[in-house]
Structure 1
Amino acid sequence: MYKDFELIDKWVYISNMKKVRYFKDKKGFQKDGALGFIYVDHSAGLTLEIEYPFNGKLKDLKDNIDYKKDTSFKLRYDTFRELKFEILDESLIKKLNLPIIPEWVNVYKTNPQLDELRQIELLHQFRAPGYPDDIKVLLPPLNELSPEIVWGRLEGFNPKTQTYQCILLNQPDQDFKVNEEELVEVVMADINKEIYMLCKTSYDRLRI
């Protein structure tokens, strides 16, 4: 089983497509297998785009396949995780004359910082399954408030202040002086020998 960060911007081979119910009523997708590309949609998370359905097995594909983007079928994380697939290595990608990253993926790469943030190992423990940009954020237990965990969507990193920028995805149950959809600063903090992503914006406001 692949880890989420290993799937980002990867070509995969999907087998046994005819046995998968999602493809039974999709014209052009009733094939033995398919090549697909996994990318990150900033709001929808890891997504598999079925690129090249074909009959036969992976080893039967000829060199320099006639790759044309004339069909499209997307599967989100919870669905494609149920499929049987394997990541293609770079030598096979070149042999099949596939682009390392399809041109259409550039639509989803509007923030260059996100590619780097998605590969930071220390952040992996805080990420939502299937959503590399969404992390758990701790709201600080100050002024008689109880600690609370909310979700934040990574938007960037400020090297000068060593803070991450996140959009809060849900409204806190208590008044932490921050709100849903607000852009906040988050820092990695060691609290009682445990690492958390602490909402600095909330911490600073509560201390005033």
Structure 2
Amino acid sequence: MIQVAQLNFREMEHQICLLGINQTISGLLYAGGMDAPEDGGVLAYGYVDTEGGFTFEILAPAKVEGDKIIPLPGVPDMMVKLHKEQANECSIRLGPVVDRTPYERKIAVINEAYAPSEDVAAIRSVDLIDDSRHPDYPDDILVIFLKDDYKPEGCWVRSMEVEEGRCIGKLLNEPDQDYGVHENDLIPFDIVKEGEDYFCISRF
């Protein structure tokens, strides 16, 4: 059985999937007034929240009978969020055959509320740098800082915009070395090919 942690965010984004139940999911169902099925999981919709990382919206618990998935009553007006980092060890089945109609309004609300800016969407679409992305926060990118007489240092930068062909992001951690920039500063960076690999580089 495939686990959430084994998949790239692109495979789960804007997909309804069936997640196995762990303790966190069981607690969320209980808080939402839903029971966790003994033999089944939850139907969930995957999307990217720039601040919160890859997120699943729990739509409803579901029973599994052989190859058949039977959705159980959910709470249509309540948002029940599950961050990917809370579900990495859960089993996942992509694209289960279920009627999407009961969930279309909630999915539309999510897609509108978390629609990225044009620039963020452009950076998010670059799969060449997926190895540099945080596994749970797709818009957070490991950028290598380079400066003469300094050791290369990797820092996390959150994608924000594109300006004159360069990516711009917010520095998420304080560098160990003095580059003249600090946490929360905006940092320009470039996508650079080295051999067969691509890296994100910021030169000072």
TM-score (norm 2): 0.78
Structure 1: gaps (5+ residues): 204-208
Match of 2:167?
164
**Equivalents in 2 of 1:23, 1:121: separation in Å?**
30
What is the CA-CA distance between 1:180 and the residue it aligns to? 1.1
**Structure number with higher relative contact order (C-alpha < 8 Å, ≥ 6 residues apart):** 2
Amino acid in the other structure paired with 2:199: Y
Q: Structure 2: give runs of 5+ residues left out of the alignment.
A: 1-5
Number of aligned residues: 190
- 1:42, 1:133 within 8 Å by CA — same for their partners in 2? yes
2:3 aligned residue: none
Query: Partner of 1:99: helix, strand, or coil?
Result: helix
How much identity, in percent, do the aligned residues show? 22
Equivalent position SS for 2:179: coil
Query: Shift of the alpha carbon at 1:81?
Result: 1.6
Report Cα offsets for 1:135-179 as digits up to 9, x if no partner. Answer: 11111131x222211110001223xx2100110001111211221
Task: Confirm whether residue 121 of structure 1 aligns to residue 127 of structure 2.
Answer: yes
Superposed, 1:71-86 pairs within 5 Å as: 71-86=78-93
Structure 2 residue corresponding to 1:11, chosen from 16, 20, 30: 16
Q: Distance in 2 between matches of 1:172 and 1:188?
A: 20
Q: Work out which of the two has the higher radius of gyration on C-alpha atoms and give 1 or 2.
A: 1
Correspondence for 1:186: 189
The answer for the alignment partner of 1:36 in structure 2 is: 44
Q: Tell me if the contact between 2:134 and 2:142 (Cα under 8 Å) persists in the aligned partners.
A: yes
Residues 70 and 192 (structure 1), Cα distance of their counterparts in 2 relative to 1, 3 Å cut: closer
- Counterpart selection for 1:21 from 20, 23, 32: 23
> In 2, Cα distance between the equivalents of 1:40 and 1:190?
26
Query: Structure 1 residues 75, 168: CA separation in 2 closer, same or farther (over 3 Å shift)?
Result: same
Q: Secondary structure at the match of 2:138?
A: strand
